[in-house]
């Protein structure tokens, strides 16, 4: 399928490390990694379809289309070597879709604050409500609904800068992007069957205050992926990479040294 090219941010040189962002944000989520890991890695952080400066989906929104768009970006950049692919939440769902579609392109996986399970009936019904809200009232109510869940208790109480960054990033996203991504999230397949087939080294990271994809979901990922390790970050919620950036970056560096 032909996809419009994704907008992306790039920094550093070394092994390609691709980061896929969460909903409803953009590549800017990865600012601490774009700034903090560039001495060892070539960091590539795309805006997923419709978010940031990327064009909307050209056809039905799905995590597979997101994964295809990421592959098209790698081709556009002439990257032929295997990549380390990291994704947080929606980015993690997309990373799992990529692992299913393009296993031969992976050197390692980093699954952050995400899960393999599909939405249950209640989750799907909630997505439908949010899609209707985005279409009828715009992005703002969705942003307000998501914000308290995206960050952990500690960040909400003590890290004003992080709260402001997330609010700003979420507020910049369009209602169309949000509604389309919600459709992709609602319809994503269950990936539990894929996990035992993942052969690349996999790092699973979760914030211990994550309420959207709580630590038990990361424990499932780590238990079912053969060559995996689980790292739990204290005093971080769903967006562990910006809530505890130094610890997050150290965990990533330590893992990558083992590859
Ligand atoms: C995300 O952070 O990407 C979303 O909250 C994921 C989800 O709602 O399932």
Give residue-wise pLDDT tens across range 22-51.
999 999 999 999 999 999 999 999 999 999
Cα separation, 103 vs 79, whole angstroms = 15
| Residue 3: band (very low, low, confident or very high) from pLDDT cuts 50, 70, 90 | low
Cα separation, 185 vs 92, whole angstroms = 11
Q: Give the count of beta carbons closer than 10 Å to the beta carbon of residue 165.
A: 18
Q: Which residues pair with 90 in a beta bridge?
A: none
User: Residue 58: what pLDDT?
Assistant: 82
φ and ψ of 44, to 5 deg:
-125, 120
Kindly report the CA angle at 152 between 164 and 33, in degrees rounded to 5?
Answer: 65
Question: Given a cut of 90, is residue 189 above it in pLDDT?
Answer: yes
Strands (E), 120-167: none
Question: Given a cut of 70, is residue 90 above it in pLDDT?
Answer: yes
- The pTM (predicted TM-score) of the whole model is 0.97
Closest Cα to atom 5 of ligand 1 = 23
Which run of H or E residues covers position 81? none
Query: Which of 185, 189, 218 to mutate to test ligand 1, by most ligand atoms within 8 A of the CB atom?
Result: 185
Rounded average pLDDT over 200-215? 98
CB 23 less than 6 A from any atom of ligand 1: yes
Question: Given a cut of 80, is residue 2 above it in pLDDT?
Answer: no
Instruction: Find the range with the poorest average confidence among 31-35, 61-65, 144-148, 171-175.
Output: 144-148
Q: What share of the chain is helix, strand, coil (3-state, %, to 5)?
A: 50, 15, 35
Question: Given a cut of 50, is residue 228 above it in pLDDT?
Answer: yes
Q: Is 42 helix (H, G, I), strand (E, B) or coil?
A: strand
């Amino acid at each position: 399928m032909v996809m419009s090219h994704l907008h992306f941010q790039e920094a550093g040189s070394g092994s390609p490390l691709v980061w896929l962002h969460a909903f409803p944000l953009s590549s800017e989520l990865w600012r601490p990694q774009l700034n903090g890991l560039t001495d060892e890695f070539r960091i590539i952080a795309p805006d997923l379809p419709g978010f940031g400066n990327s064009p909307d989906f050209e056809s039905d929104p799905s995590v597979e289309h997101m994964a295809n768009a990421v592959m098209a970006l790698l081709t556009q950049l002439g990257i032929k070597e295997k990549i380390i692919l990291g994704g947080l939440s929606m980015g993690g769902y997309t990373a799992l879709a990529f692992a299913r579609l393009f296993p031969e392109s992976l050197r390692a996986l980093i699954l952050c604050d995400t899960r393999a399970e599909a939405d249950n009936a209640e989750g799907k019904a909630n997505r439908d409500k949010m899609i209707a809200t985005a279409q009828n009232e715009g992005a703002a109510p969705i942003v307000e609904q998501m914000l308290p869940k995206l960050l952990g208790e500690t960040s909400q109480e003590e890290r004003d800068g992080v709260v402001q960054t997330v609010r700003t990033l979420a507020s910049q996203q369009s209602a169309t992007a949000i509604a389309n991504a919600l459709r992709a999230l609602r319809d994503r397949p269950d990936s539990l069957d894929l996990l035992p087939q993942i052969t690349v080294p996999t790092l699973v990271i979760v914030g211990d205050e994550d309420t959207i994809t709580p630590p038990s979901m990361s424990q499932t990922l780590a238990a079912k992926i053969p060559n995996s390790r689980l790292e739990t970050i204290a005093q971080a919620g769903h967006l562990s990479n910006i809530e505890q950036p130094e610890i997050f970056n150290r965990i990533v560096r330590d893992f990558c040294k083992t590859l």
